[in-house]
Amino acid sequence: MGKVRGALLGKRCPGPLTPVLRPQVALAVALDLRTFLRLRPSAEGRVSVSLPGVGFGRSWDTPDLQALRGRIAADFDESKSPSVEQLDALREFAGIAAGASAPESLATLAFLYMCLAISAKYGDVPSMDILVCSELPMGAGLGSSAAYAVCMAAALLMVCGAISCPLQEGEPTARWTEEELTLINSWAFRGEQVIHGNPSGVDNAVGTWGGALRYQAGKITPLKRVPTLRILLTNTKVPRSTKVLVAGVKEKILKFPAIMNPVLDSIGAISQECQNVLEAMPENPSPEHYPVLEEFFDINQHHLNVLGVGHPSLDRLCQVTASHSLHSKLTGAGGGGCGITLLPPGQYSPSGIFFFLTTLGRVGVRFGSRGIPASLGLALEGWVGCVPALPGTVGCSV
């Protein structure tokens, strides 16, 4: 087995929370910020996972993993959700307390579940060292957990022989077949369930296929050709809990249904109109498209504040960018996290705030021979088993 490396995209969602609460339309679009996974063989009879971005590393003896799999593998399948009994057994094995929500704890459980489940169905995983690093900030509503799950699913499926190595000689990157991408997405969704409990499946789908997706009542469909939009992605660095925010919105809907349900209907209508504009832009470019999208941003942000998922830091972002004639809104679950600002063609980012300049609508999970970017690789120095990738290293990226 040679080295494996890959990268996966993050996402942003113009209409957060609506798919969770009502069968409205929501759109999710891939960001050009990637999560990278490098997998290489180990001769030590161990499986190790390192996430230097959160200061985390764990390793297990392969016989111990095989024994654990034998005890809980009866119902492992990509069509079945992780059971309470399976997750309890994984927590006990990893020494993770019930209810633990630290990123490293959830990443450990997701890896163990996917590793044992995939190997139970397709064949033993070899001794290996796995390194995951990301350009995405964690816990900011950008799909970092889904990017992790898609990368891990792709790598594990490949080393177990469930999917092919798509890279041809001389190619820097390659994509899997549609059937293989569907399998990757199915297992990544199970990883997301371990982390979040009841995810919509939008984040892992965006990470797998990239581009832009429409979500409504559990159905995910890709949009037609969409433009490459430039955005300013601002991390407020304000922590928040998606579960708490969703619970708060549900409480408001139950308390004031005649008021809140029309707000959700309006958010769904914005998503539908936004889809119409995005699909029209590549074929019939018009200077009127950007002002319409800017209005959608403003209206949507006010709606989301009414739902109670805003935050003073996000209000401040909207004020600062408005002073530069730009339009912003929250993304993800709100309550802090990240905001996005639409940048018209030829316009640059304002100064004085912590931001990422990125684009929307990029390709999803892929396999490549390029090393991990130097900007991330430099941060890995000093980590045992985690060194910058050398030329010729290969793997998965989302």
Q: Any idea what DSSP says for residue 378?
A: G
Q: Any idea what DSSP says for residue 218?
A: T
* 145 noted as active-site residue: yes
- 89 contacts 78 by C-beta, under 8 angstroms: no
- 117 contacts 87 by C-beta, under 8 angstroms: no
Please classify residue 272 by burial: count the beta carbons closer than 10 Å to its beta carbon, then call 0-12 exposed, 13-18 middle and 19+ buried: middle
Which residues contact residue 49 at a Cβ distance below 8 angstroms, ignoring those fewer than 6 apart? 57, 58, 59, 107, 108, 111, 130, 132
HSE of 253 in the Cβ direction (CA atoms, 13 Å)?
Answer: 16
What backbone phi and psi angles, to 5 degrees, belong to 176? -80, 170
3-state secondary structure 173-216: EECCCHHHHHHHHHHHHHHHHHHHCCCCCHHHHHHHHECEEEEE
Which residues contact residue 63 at a Cβ distance below 8 angstroms, ignoring those fewer than 6 apart? 45
Q: Furthest-apart CA pair in the chain: how many Å?
A: 64
- 39 contacts 130 by C-beta, under 8 angstroms: yes
* 77 noted as active-site residue: no
Q: Which of 32, 105, 203, 328 is catalytic?
A: 203
Name the token pair of 86.
Answer: 């399976």
Q: Which of 134, 145, 200, 369 is catalytic?
A: 145
> Which residues have a catalytic role annotated?
145, 203
